[in-house]
Amino acid sequence: MWFFTPEEKEIQKVCRDFAQKELAPFAEKHDHDETFNMKAMKQVGELGLFGITSDPEYGGAGMGATASTIVMEEFGKADAGFTLSYLAHTILCVNNINANGSPEQKQKFLPKLISGEHIGCMGMSEPEYGSDAVGMQTKAVRDGDHYVVTGNKMWITNAQCSDIIYLYTRTGPGKKDLTSFIAERGMPGYSVSKEIHKMGMRSSPTGELAFQKTKIPLANRVGAEGDSTIHMMKNLEIERITIAGISLGIAQACLDQCVKYAGQRKQFGKTLANFQLIQKMIAEMYAETEAMRRMLYTVCYEYDHGQRSNTLASAIKLQLPKMATKIALDAIQLHGGYGYSREFPVERMMRDNKLNEIGAGTNEVMIMIIARNLLKEAMKHE
């Protein structure tokens, strides 16, 4: 994009090279085996990309949504599942602690998370509370200098490999009585109770977290009791923007694969590239991908310059995954029987992208948010 800074352009190049060397060659195997590329995850820490939005004094880069989304796009082209785990660590855990933690908490937890020595996740959704996150029932009850936490968290990316959990709990009866904690692997009563097997994003570990009267020190409480609803909403905004970067990467990868395949595959004595219907499909995929790119990075630019909008973040989260799923399905159609098989990566890309229409707020929830905000604004002027 025209407004990328020299530093952002360098990040783009570094991530593109890394993705092609360390992610793309292994993506199919990790998808097939449902395994996680931990070697690459540690290497990302060495590249300094885990603290991309964090303060430099803790080892971070102090950058914003644009730089984060560049990483998501470049990694997403190669292995969307791995990229989802990167997002869970960097945006859901590290960024949350950097934005909301005390200086003491940041000093204690961020350096190892940013270096990659520790892996992080976030515990928000529950077995009975997905889209209705503020209805969560995991309870934290104060007992002297610690809290006793009881409940389960579901669909947690990086559950099996995380050392640190940014955990949302309920500390009162009200809808907004939510309080967050930094939980640590090894705390008595904490466990990963179930591994979840998925249609897509199979190279990203997902599990259920169980807290059975887990004692968490008062020092690990983030902010005051009841502060976490606003923390949640702020972090969801950047999560929804950056996860759309994964969908952009998937769309671009599908387009690249289709252009390559159309130039090689022959039918009726000539390559597919000679057929007008194939040309139409490729041209539309290109136009849709470029529309996605410019919409996404424009919102990133505005976000980084203080023009933040929950409505626009929700629109990005609604529109880009939907378009990427369409592009992936078109790519499968263009490849014919090969597209439906695992011989080519487009079927994996479609499976992976479908998660982006569900995670971080479903399409239906995004529609509710956008409509509610627009109608509320309109009523102000009546």
Residue 300 near residue 64 (C-beta atoms within 8 A) = yes
Work out the number of other CB atoms within 10 angstroms of the CB of residue 234: 16
Distance (Å, whole) CA 135 – CA 129: 6
Q: Is 104 a catalytic residue?
A: no
Encoded tokens for 51: 């603290």
**Residues near 214 by Cβ (< 8 Å), separated by ≥ 6?**
148, 149, 150, 183, 187, 188, 189, 190
Residue ranges of E strands in the chain: 120-123, 139-143, 146-157, 164-170, 178-184, 190-195, 206-217, 221-222, 266-267, 270-271
Residue 371 tokens read as 């409509």
Annotated active-site residue in 73, 74, 208, 239: 239
* Largest interatomic CA distance in the chain: 79
Catalytic residue list: 239
